[in-house]
């Protein structure tokens, strides 16, 4: 039986700095599997999408996350988010 529209969640993922460079794109719109509940789940799933994702998310503990433009933790639930951004920590003066 095919999944219904309410079970499929389409989301925009945005990648910044070296994450973008490693993946080779700045954003993409994906339909997420229903078992993805948290950002940690999403990162684990993304890492299975190919060597570029594995490289980009090899050290998920250093990656910062924003859910719908609000900073979040990797353990945060995705819920009905429309956009998730992934970016490395930045420094500067």
Cα–Cα distance, 35 to 47 (Å, whole number): 15
Q: What is the CATH number of the domain that holds 50?
A: 3.10.20.30
Within-domain flag for 20: yes
Average pLDDT, stretch 38-67? Answer: 97
Query: Which pLDDT band, with edges at 50, 70 and 90, does 90 fall under?
Result: confident
**Residue 33: strand, helix, or coil:** coil
In the chain, how many domains are there?
A: 1
Which structural domain, as residue segments, surrounds residue 65?
Answer: 9-87
Cα–Cα distance, 90 to 68 (Å, whole number): 20
Within-domain flag for 92: no
Within-domain flag for 2: no
Residue 45 phi, psi dihedral angles, 5° rounding: -70, -45
The pLDDT tens digits of the residues spanning 62-77 come to 999 999 999 999 999 9
Contact 42, 32 (CB under 8 A): yes
């Amino acid at each position: 039986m095919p999944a219904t529209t309410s079970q499929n969640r389409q989301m925009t993922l945005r990648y910044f700095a070296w994450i973008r460079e490693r993946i080779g794109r700045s954003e993409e719109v994906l339909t997420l599997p229903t078992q993805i509940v948290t950002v940690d789940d999403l990162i684990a799933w993304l890492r299975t999408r190919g060597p570029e994702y594995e490289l980009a998310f090899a050290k998920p503990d250093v990656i910062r996350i924003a859910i719908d433009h609000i900073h979040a933790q990797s353990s945060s639930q995705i819920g009905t988010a429309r956009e998730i951004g992934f970016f490395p920590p930045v420094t500067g003066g």
